[in-house]
Copies of this chain bind each other. A is one copy, B any other.
Amino acid sequence: MLPAQQGYDRAITVFSPDGRLYQVEYAIETVRRGTIAVGIKSKEGIVIAVEEKPRKLQITDVAQKIFQIDDHIGVAAAGYIPDARSQVDNARFFSQSNKMIYDEAVEVETIAKHLADQSQQYTQYAGVRPYGVALILGGVVNNNTQLYLTDPSGTYISYDAIAIGSGSDQVTDFLEKTYNHELSIEDASVLASAAIYLSSEDREGTSHIRMAQIKTKTETFELVSDEQIAKYAKTAKEKYPHEKK
């Protein structure tokens, strides 16, 4: 920690002399400390996946870092997970309201902008800290796959494939090298598995991988079964034999 930073990071979010918002940067650091999360768009639908490290007696029926927002939209989170839940609840309510008002499924971008707008406000107003979480929102609306990233700064951006959390720089490099627009949803799921192996300390088992798909055909969020994940993971290890770090 440099002495020049002293004071700028203690109080409510304020600008430093070099024009930075330290509290926002620290919140992004919280995201970087979280386990990896990835989202990949395929021509057949969206895949989102996260690494979860359950304790031995933890019941893993329910994913901690993957959430369903609506029939057709899911979220993968990295960072401070209780904050993710707060944003997910907000998104679910917003999505239902939208459906009731407009009588059609909400666009993923509409939700991403809604969450990002709230995140921006939490960087500008006193009495609240910024969110400490980044979200990958994926969904299919009217045959159209959509993948968005939101972060603590209030930014939201659309990607073909994106990784957040610990090791995301390395994983993003990997995705940029291997991604192409002709991926089937199976290919994308294998790629997502490979991405998690790349960042994780556990490069053998699959109990630490959680995955969900929203297929273009069904436009429906589905958690991928442990058996299916195991198959994807096996293929991933063959196809992308990462060297050990």
Contact = CB atoms under 8 A, between A and B. Distances in A.
Given A26-B19, A55-B159, A157-B64, A127 B127 contact: yes
B158 A117 contact: no
A210 to B, nearest CB: 14
Interface stretch (A8-16, A43-51, A92-100): A8-16
Contacts of A85: 113, 116-117, 120, 154
Contacts of A68: none
A126 B125 CA distance: 9
B117 A86 contact: yes
Nearest to A64: B157
A157 B58 contact: yes
A interface bracket (residues with beta carbon within 8 Å of B)? 35 or more
Nearest to A31: B19
A59 B155 contact: no
Interface of A: 1, 4-23, 26-33, 55-59, 61-62, 64, 80-83, 85-86, 89, 109, 113, 116-117, 119-132, 147, 153-155, 157-162, 172, 175-176, 179
The interface centre, meaning the residue of A8, A26, A29, A32 with most chain B CB atoms within 10 A of its CB, is A26
A160 B21 CA distance: 32
A4 B31 CA distance: 21
Given A8-B9, A15-B130, A17-B22, A158 B86 contact: no
A82 B119 contact: yes
9 contacts: A61-B158, A80-B153, A81-B155, A85-B154, A89-B117, A122-B124, A124-B129, A126-B126, A127-B127
